[in-house]
């Protein structure tokens, strides 16, 4: 391509005069925080004992894998209805990094009840989840647009469900292992200098949506009036919690399992384990607001009431 002398001189004059040239957008610092983790109903059968809980964080940021455990290996949080494993005053940063235009991070959060001392078993689980995610369409992309993010999120959940549907083959009360509590993904990406985000719970992986039969799910939904919250005076009271906080900066993900405990000489007894996690995403030090998708088969399944209505994702 040839340029006339006048064009070259004009360009040099602009540069000499301090004219602004197209600039590359700067990286945006981003954090994904777990702001709370509440045990609505414990896993342990001992009414006087607390649960032990921990979280595995896997995923990818560019070509760099994400692999972390909270708290650190060999430790676990105490959890009970009036003893949050994680509280709003001391949030946990699950992932922190900087995203250039188009870059993304997929942060997968897996909850377990137990001590986590069997590191070989939890390592096997993490490897299975990572392998499932890697085979999802778009996982190997270096950058994402909005349409790519939707495709990637859907593919990752579908592949994770295949793992979680068989989770009792690995983790079960009968085998005296740690207990799988739930799984959700946080996808964040930089689109033209603006951080976009999406949370996808793994959904229903065993049983039926409604009723009190055996089931396992991770969903975005309302809770019952059974979440203990402490007021400014230190008094505990049971409340119903919505999927979004009042300021819309915290998204709440509900993780539940109802199992039937079979005892010799008696009928099976239902036992429910129920946890609620709070998630925030911060860009350049500012907490971003969440939005639930509109009603419809893509984003929301309508039940008979608020308790039985859930959202497949939030963004």
pLDDT tens string, the chain, 315 residues long: the values are 444 555 544 544 544 555 554 455 679 999 999 999 999 999 999 999 999 999 999 999 987 999 999 999 889 999 999 999 999 999 999 999 999 999 999 999 999 999 998 999 999 999 999 999 999 998 988 899 888 999 999 999 999 999 999 999 999 999 999 999 999 999 999 999 999 999 999 999 999 988 888 999 999 999 999 999 999 899 999 999 999 999 999 999 999 999 999 887 788 899 999 999 999 999 999 999 999 998 777 788 888 888 889 999 999
Q: Supply the pLDDT for residue 16.
A: 54
- Please name the residues in contact with 275: beta carbons below 8 A apart, sequence gap of 6 or more: 37, 38, 39, 40, 53, 79, 111, 181, 182, 254, 255, 256
Strands 179-191 and 194-201: antiparallel
Beta strands in the chain (DSSP E): 28-41, 51-61, 64-70, 77-79, 92-99, 104-113, 179-191, 194-201, 203-206, 215-221, 227-230, 236-239, 251-261, 269-283, 286-287, 300-301, 310-311
Q: Supply the pLDDT for residue 7.
A: 53
Q: Supply the pLDDT for residue 37.
A: 98
Q: Supply the pLDDT for residue 15.
A: 46
Residue 99 to residue 41: CA distance in whole angstroms: 38
Strand partners, 276: 38, 254
Residue 133 to residue 163: CA distance in whole angstroms: 10
Q: Supply the pLDDT for residue 210.
A: 85
Residue 299 to residue 153: CA distance in whole angstroms: 13
Q: Supply the pLDDT for residue 193.
A: 94
Beta strands in 222-268 (DSSP E): 227-230, 236-239, 251-261
Residue 83 to residue 50: CA distance in whole angstroms: 8
The encoded tokens of residue 283 equal: 């860009």
Instruction: Report the chain's C-alpha Rg in angstroms.
Output: 23
256, 272 contact by CB (below 8 A)? yes
Q: Which of 185, 183, 251 is nearest to 217 (CA)?
A: 183
Q: Helix 119-134 to helix 146-164 angle, to the nearest 10 degrees?
A: 140
- The conformation of residue 90, written as its DSSP 8-state character, comes to S
Q: With the CA atoms of 181, 31, 300 and 257 taken in that order, what torsion angle do they form, in degrees rounded to the nearest 10?
A: 10
């Amino acid at each position: 391509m040839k340029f006339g002398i006048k064009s070259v001189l004009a360009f040099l004059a602009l540069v000499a005069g301090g004219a602004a040239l197209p600039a590359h957008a700067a990286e945006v610092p981003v954090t994904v925080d777990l702001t709370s983790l509440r045990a609505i109903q414990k896993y342990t059968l001992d009414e006087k004992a607390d649960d032990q809980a921990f979280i595995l964080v896997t995923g990818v940021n560019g070509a760099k894998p994400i692999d972390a455990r909270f708290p650190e290996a060999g430790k676990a949080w105490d959890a009970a209805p009036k003893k949050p494993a994680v509280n709003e005053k001391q949030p946990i940063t699950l992932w922190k990094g900087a995203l250039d235009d188009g870059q993304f991070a997929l942060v997968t959060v897996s909850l377990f009840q137990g001590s986590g001392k069997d590191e070989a078993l939890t390592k096997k689980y993490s490897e299975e989840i990572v392998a499932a995610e890697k085979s999802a369409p778009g996982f190997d992309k270096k950058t994402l647009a909005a349409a790519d993010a939707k495709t990637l999120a859907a593919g990752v959940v579908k592949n994770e469900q295949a793992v979680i549907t068989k989770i009792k083959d690995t983790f079960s009360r009968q085998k005296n292992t740690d207990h799988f509590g739930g799984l959700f993904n946080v996808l964040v990406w930089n689109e033209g200098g603006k951080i976009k985000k999406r949370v996808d719970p793994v959904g229903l992986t065993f049983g039926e949506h409604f009723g009190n039969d055996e089931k396992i799910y991770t969903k975005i939904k309302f809770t019952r009036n059974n979440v203990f919250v402490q007021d400014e005076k230190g008094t505990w009271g049971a409340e119903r919690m919505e999927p979004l906080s009042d300021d819309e900066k915290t998204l709440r993900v509900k993780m539940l399992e109802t199992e039937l405990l079979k005892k010799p000489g008696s009928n099976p007894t239902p036992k429910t384990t129920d946890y609620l996690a709070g998630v925030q995403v911060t860009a350049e030090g500012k907490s971003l607001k969440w939005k639930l998708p509109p009603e419809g088969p893509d984003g929301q399944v309508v039940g008979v009431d608020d308790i039985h209505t859930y959202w497949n994702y939030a963004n």
